[in-house]
Amino acid sequence: MSAQMDLEQNSKVKAKKPKKESSLWGDALSRILKSKTSFIGLMIILLLIVVAVLAPVLAPYHPIDDGSIIDRYQPPSAEHWLGTDQLGRDILSRIIYGARISIKIGVIAVGIAFVVGTLLGGIAGYIGRWVDNVIMRIIDIMMAFPSILLAIAMVAILGKSLTNAMIAVGIVGVPQFARIVRSTVLSIKEKEFVESARASGVKNGRILMRHVLPNCMAPIIVQATLSVGTAILDAAGLSFLGLGAQGATPEWGVMLSDGRAALQTSPWVITFPGLAIFLVVLGFNLFGDGLRDALDPRLKQ
């Protein structure tokens, strides 16, 4: 009788399917899709990418060449959905092409901050001692200045151009990445797997690049997502001041600067570029906040 009961229990155990272990990024994706705010942010980001990729197809006019003084300051109509600017250029077309520049700014500026900040923070946290003091004191000096003021000073030194503006915005974002990476490295370098690699004779550089920094990716990716919106906003501010994109470049900050003289008579000239900046920054902030909550192990059920 007991043998029969054991057979039945064994058959029940075998019938039960083993549960699949969920990964960190799989859980994060499911939480993002369940959260309304982060899902809205993700949809805004995807819309920006689609508009940037399909700009030649979606734009009804050329953003620079298809303009006429006769059509200047035309209000929104069936022919020009968002109106025209001071040179008769279609605002909708310029906003669509401006999405490409915004993605370029976000990728390059955040990429600079990501690489430089990760390396500096990793070296400071792993080596410690006087190296840590020197690097972090430089970071503290950079953080003592307002970010936009430091970016203006750097562009004034490098010269007025969109490329220099992206470099300046990227360097200004280095301190945030460096501090996050340093604090994470300080806790990871004491883990058993790092001690084991060190005891096996693995060089410090290899330990840092192969074992320590890969385990810092979650907070770094969250910071990178949040920094894209800030980079786009700072670059637009520099262009508005005449320090970023120059001439007829269809950049949203330039459009705001060109249209401020007609704010009272033709408000649509700056309203729609301003809304584009607002939506993109909002999208990255919503998605970044949702990603931060999704990757927080304390919120994992």
pLDDT above 80: residue 242? yes
**Residue 184 CB contacts under 8 Å (≥ 6 apart), including other chains:** 125, 215, 216, 219
pLDDT digits (tens, 9 = 90+) for 147-161: 888 999 999 888 888
pLDDT attached to residue 10: 56
Stretch 42-53: mean pLDDT? 93
Stretch 184-200: mean pLDDT? 81
Q: Which of 41-45, 111-115, 204-208 has the lowest mean pLDDT?
A: 204-208
pLDDT attached to residue 164: 92
pLDDT attached to residue 24: 57
Binned at pLDDT 50, 70 and 90, residue 22 comes out as: low
pLDDT digits (tens, 9 = 90+) for 82-91: 989 888 899 9
pLDDT attached to residue 168: 94
pTM of the complete model beyond 0.75? yes
pLDDT attached to residue 15: 47
pLDDT above 80: residue 4? no
Task: Write the DSSP assignment of the chain as a string of letters.
Answer: -HHHHHHHHHHHHHHSPPPPPPPHHHHHHHHHHH-HHHHHHHHHHHHHHHHHHTHHHH-SS-SSSS--GGGTTPPS-SSSTT-B-TTS-BHHHHHHHHHHHHHHHHHHHHHHHHHHHHHHHHHHHHH-HHHHHHHHHHHHHHHTS-HHHHHHHHHHHH-SSHHHHHHHHHHHTHHHHHHHHHHHHHHHTTSHHHHHHHHTT--HHHHIIIIIGGGGHHHHHHHHHHHHHHHHHHHHHHHHTTSSS-TT---HHHHHHHHGGGTTT-THHHHHHHHHHHHHHHHHHHHHHHHHHHT-GGG--
Q: Which of 53-57, 225-229, 242-246 has the lowest mean pLDDT?
A: 242-246
pLDDT attached to residue 272: 93
Domains of the chain: 24-55+85-299 (1.10.3720.10)
pLDDT attached to residue 6: 52
pLDDT attached to residue 35: 77
pLDDT attached to residue 7: 47
pLDDT attached to residue 246: 84
pLDDT above 50: residue 248? yes
